Amino acid sequence: MPPPSLATLITLLTPLFPSLALVSAHSHLAHILINGQLYHGFDPRPNQPPNPPSHVGWSTAATDDGFVSPTDYATSNITCHIRGTSPPAHAPVRAGDRIHVQWNGWPVGHVGPVLSYLARCESDTGCTGVRKEELRWTKIDDSRPVMELEGKGKGNGEGRGVPGQKWATDVLIAANNSWVVAVPRGLETGAYVLRHEIIALHFAGRKGGAQNYPLCVNLFVEGLGDREGPEEGKFEMDAFDARWFYEEDDPGVLVNVTAGLKSYTVPGPTLAVGASPVPYAQQSPSVSRGEGTPVVVTRSTKTVPFTAFSGVTTPTMAAGIKGRYTRMH
Ligand SMILES: *[C@@H]1O[C@H](CO)[C@@H](O)[C@H](O)[C@H]1NC(C)=O
Ligand SMILES: *[C@@H]1O[C@H](CO)[C@@H](O)[C@H](O)[C@H]1NC(C)=O
Ligand SMILES: *[C@@H]1O[C@H](CO)[C@@H](O)[C@H](O)[C@H]1NC(C)=O
Ligand SMILES: [Cu+2]
């Protein structure tokens, strides 16, 4: 008789050891914090409390909290996860600020890069209802070095997804499953989508085995204008289509992480000129000091608070949205 698969074992043992269920859990982006203020992501799972209408995270159809496969790399599912849809709310942030991205946990074995991209939304309503096929992206963080070798004497490898290797995801887990993203100082005022993505490589030794978790949030960035500083090191936006980012046999996507890797090639476009990712040593946990007030974009570079926005929908909806929104505070 063949030994039971890991999945079967988990199914058999879960009633006895509920924590084992976590082994099969994937994840989603729970919320972001900007200067201590919390803005909600989107929880795609059924049988959870409803998402607040003020969520800035794009909704997805990833009801299993799962991933996008390499078979979907050329489709819009890779842009902002499966059937990703942009919500009305945007989190206000200033160029130069840092955004603390909180994942709803992360499995230790799911090693890989933690990547962040931005795309500008040109419409009058910002990123609300934007066609994701039209978004053009700039990579602002590639979590380099992504994988570092840890020699003997440099810790015992405990808590590492792959013994002897320290991955960006190990840094993320040590920071309470979170990652800090720097908003480039040179960004102009306007609405942007932040696309934050982990590529889990535990099955990536087989073709098609990589698992991408691309989660999007809407931002409204207040640019620094003339205060931005010297021309030198100026930030430059690129214009990549997410459907061209990856191919299933890229060296950073088709890679056996347990085969004694000496280095790792980050997949996708190169980091933007003037981008300044937050180094590993500054990745750290952070707690919310309260709910932030998201904004709705009205005329490209003008916004109103999300609570006021409920007034522009139909009267019954407005009452509903306002009521539910106020109760969150
Ligand atoms: C996205 O993924 C879903 C679920 O696998 C699939 O039904 C849908 O056709 C995909 N969308 C595109 C644009 O390929
Ligand atoms: C990955 O490498 C390990 C160690 O060499 C090997 O045991 C395993 O079979 C490889 N996996 C694949 C999918 O090639
Ligand atoms: C870790 O993140 C959770 C949210 O997922 C938060 O409730 C908790 O306070 C954080 N812990 C620390 C030590 O920052
Ligand atoms: Cu998983």
The radius of gyration of the chain's CA atoms, rounded to the nearest angstrom, is: 20
Q: Distance of CA 298 to CAs 31, 87, 321, 329, Å?
A: 24, 14, 18, 24
pLDDT in tens, 63-74: 999 999 999 999
Over residues 197-208, mean pLDDT: 98
What is the per-residue DSSP string for 224-241? -GGGG--STT------B-
Over residues 149-170, mean pLDDT: 80
Nearest of 102, 299, 273 to residue 181 by alpha carbon = 102
Closest residue CA from atom 5 of ligand 2: 259
Ligand 1 midpoint to CA 277 (Å): 32
Over residues 297-303, mean pLDDT: 89
Over residues 110-124, mean pLDDT: 97
Between 59-68, 161-170, 210-219, 298-307, the lowest mean confidence (pLDDT) is in 298-307
Q: Is the CB of 79 under 6 A from ligand 1?
A: no
Q: Is the CB of 24 under 6 A from ligand 2?
A: no
- Distance between CA atoms of residues 21 and 161, nearest Å: 18
Q: Give the global pTM.
A: 0.88
Closest residue CA from atom 7 of ligand 2: 259
Q: Is the CB of 256 under 6 A from ligand 2?
A: yes
pLDDT in tens, 251-271: 999 999 999 999 999 999 999
Q: Give 222 or 329, the one with higher predicted confidence.
A: 222
Ligand nearest to the CA of 68: 1
Over residues 101-129, mean pLDDT: 97
pLDDT at 241: 98
Using the predicted structure, report yes or no on whether residue 290 has a pLDDT greater than 70.
Answer: yes
Using the predicted structure, report yes or no on whether residue 48 has a pLDDT greater than 60.
Answer: yes
Q: Is the CB of 76 under 6 A from ligand 1?
A: yes
Over residues 182-208, mean pLDDT: 97
Using the predicted structure, report yes or no on whether residue 154 has a pLDDT greater than 90.
Answer: no
Q: Is the CB of 7 under 6 A from ligand 3?
A: no
pLDDT in tens, 29-40: 999 999 999 999
In sequence order, the 6+-apart residues with CB closer than 8 A to the CB of 291 are 37, 38, 328, 329
Closest residue CA from atom 2 of ligand 1: 82
Please, which pLDDT band fits residue 4 given cuts at 50, 70 and 90?
very low
Q: Which residue carries 């209408």 as its tokens?
A: 53
Q: Is the CB of 258 under 6 A from ligand 2?
A: yes
pLDDT at 226: 75
Please, which pLDDT band fits residue 152 given cuts at 50, 70 and 90?
low
- Which atom of ligand 2 is nearest to 206's Cα? 13
CA atoms within 13 Å, Cβ hemisphere of 84: 33
